[in-house]
Chain A
């Protein structure tokens, strides 16, 4: 038995297949738009379409955990992003498909990469989409390519929400993984400057910061950033580190499920239940040791299941819009975040995984 490294692109074409005329889309998006055959292991509605800019040079950043990192071995077209193939498609074909399937779409998102043409091409693609499709559109931005004026342009073009992939939640970690690396140079300050500008331009709860669990941060680090962002009316979106083969962090294990579930719960309690720092106790290693809360009320939150649904930009009616099924785990692995509301069987598993009695009472 063997796990295949799935190819990202078919054989290289004679003409460059680069943005803005070409983009990659997530495999889930390709299935939803019927550009690829396939299905999901579970039956659920899915309408969150994710696009990724594509360049021959790839992304010029070099983040230790990312499949697209500049110094990750191999040709760019053979690299994977969050493990599976991202099919390359013509942008105009994609927009046609979006228009055809618009009734089922919940959220669109363009992911920039660090590249000199990324801003120009993101504007171009945004225009092409906005002309034909009214599904709310987000951009996951590449801060090195942006300034305040460019964010204002995104807003004027009809972009609804902005995401910033901070990923590493402390300055030290960010520097270690994203700045002081072979072809790095990303700046912590620049990321926060873009967070601040985006918050001012796009308004409350229209900006999100991606926080990646499992890069070496503590629970305290995560909870402190969840609180700081909530107080600025900015969403934290949780992502689970998923080691990419051949990346510099390929040998780092994923977070244990118990920790992951408790972090999901803590973030939900902060964002939706108004918890503050005094309600979390930490051990000497920064790990969550105790929740100062009424056991029944926390249990009720767990039983609702919302805390364990994928964090993503909402649909038009506030429903989960970008749910990235199997985005940070294989279909054969336990769910990390659920692209649907967990059912009774899922909740039974979650209760076993989270071991709530150890941090309550």
Chain B
């Protein structure tokens, strides 16, 4: 393999020579953009960004989108639905894959991004921006939610390890 294993390394080391700051303040890790201003659920690639008092915005990171394949459809539960961390709030369908969109938080679904529902390509083009999926009301501090990675070094090391894992398992093009 041409890419060394990065899991467990601090952000700067994991990012290494193949990474750097891209447009919009995104870091590039082994070719994939990553935003460090938010929290991540490491099993599902969902990110969580505080969006106001008791409110978070939720999306899927670029690697989660990429490894699903070309998106065909995103569907969501209705606004007002209760959310439980680890339980689906919708479904993602790609060319050869279908799977649940799993909530990283417990709370209530407040808003669905109708633009991404109408054009799932938005999630591919701008996963950390216009391609967000839903907004949810949560109890407690939105910047320190249970079960999520919040430390930039931890996030970077986790993400780099995932890129490597996906390359080895053949789900990302190379």
Which residues of A come within 8 Å of B, CB atoms? Answer: 1-4, 6, 27-28, 30-31, 34-41, 84-85, 325-326, 330-332
Q: Are A6 and B95 in contact (CB under 8 A)?
A: yes
Known: A1-B117, A2-B118, A37-B171. A326 touches B71 (CB 8 A): no
Contact yes or no, B173 A27, CB < 8 A: no
Against A, the Cβ 8 Å flags (1 = close, 0 = not) of B132-174 are: 0000000000000000000000000000000000000011111
Of the residues B66, B70, B97, B121, contact of A40 by C-beta under 8 Å? B97
Residues on B with C-beta less than 8 A from A326 are 95-96
User: Known contacts A41-B97, A330-B93; is A4 also within 8 Å of B68 by CB?
Assistant: no
Q: What is the predominant secondary structure among interface residues of chain A facing chain B? A: loop
| Selected contact of A332 from candidates B69, B98, B118, B170, CB within 8 Å | B98
Interface centre among A1, A30, A31, A85, by most B CB within 10 Å?
Answer: A1
Contact with A along B26-42 (1 / 0, CB 8 A): 00000000000000000
Q: Report yes or no: B91 in contact with A332, Cβ–Cβ below 8 A.
A: yes
Which residues of the partner chain B approach A30 to less than 8 Å between Cβ atoms? Answer: 173
Q: Kindly state the separation between the CA atoms of A34 and B93 in the bound complex, as whole angstroms.
A: 20
Say whether A331 contacts B121, CB under 8 Å.
no
Known: A27-B95, A41-B99, A331-B96. A6 touches B69 (CB 8 A): no
A39–B71 touching, CB < 8 Å: no
Q: Interface residue count for B (Cβ, 8 Å)?
A: 29
Cβ proximity bits B87-121 to A, threshold 8 Å, 1 near / 0 not:
00001011111110000000000000000011111
Name 10 extra pairs, CB < 8 A, besides A37-B172, A41-B96, A331-B94: A1-B76, A2-B117, A3-B72, A4-B120, A28-B96, A36-B70, A37-B66, A38-B171, A40-B97, A84-B70
Once bound together, how far apart are the Cα atoms of A85 and B72, in whole Å?
10
Taking the closest CB of chain B, its distance from the CB of A166, in whole angstroms, is 27
Q: Give the distance in Å from the alpha carbon of A39 to the alpha carbon of B69 in the complex.
A: 6
Is A4 in contact with B95, judged by CB distance below 8 angstroms? no
Residues of B within 8 A of A84 (CB): 70, 72, 95-96
Taking the complex as formed, is B44 at the interface, i.e. its CB lies under 8 A from any CB of chain A?
no
CB distance from A216 to the nearest CB of B (A): 28
The CA-CA distance from A40 to B99 in the complex, in Å, is 10
Distance in angstroms between the alpha carbons of A359 and B117 in the assembled complex: 44
> Are the CB atoms of A35 and B70 closer together than 8 Å?
no
Most chain A CB neighbours (cut-off 10 Å) among B67, B95, B117, B171: B95
Please determine whether B72 and A6 come into contact, CB atoms closer than 8 angstroms.
yes
Q: Tell me which residues across on chain A come within 8 A of B68, comparing CB atoms.
A: 38-39
Taking CB atoms, residues of chain B closer than 8 Å to A34 are: 170, 172-174
- Check B97 against A38 for contact (C-beta < 8 Å): yes
The CA-CA distance from A323 to B114 in the complex, in Å, is 36
- Chosen A-B contacts, 30 in total, with CB atoms closer than 8 Å, are A1-B76, A1-B117, A2-B73, A2-B117, A2-B119, A2-B120, A4-B119, A6-B72, A34-B170, A34-B172, A34-B174, A35-B173, A36-B70, A37-B67, A37-B171, A37-B173, A38-B67, A38-B94, A38-B96, A38-B97, A39-B67, A39-B68, A39-B97, A40-B97, A41-B96, A41-B98, A326-B95, A330-B93, A331-B93, A331-B97
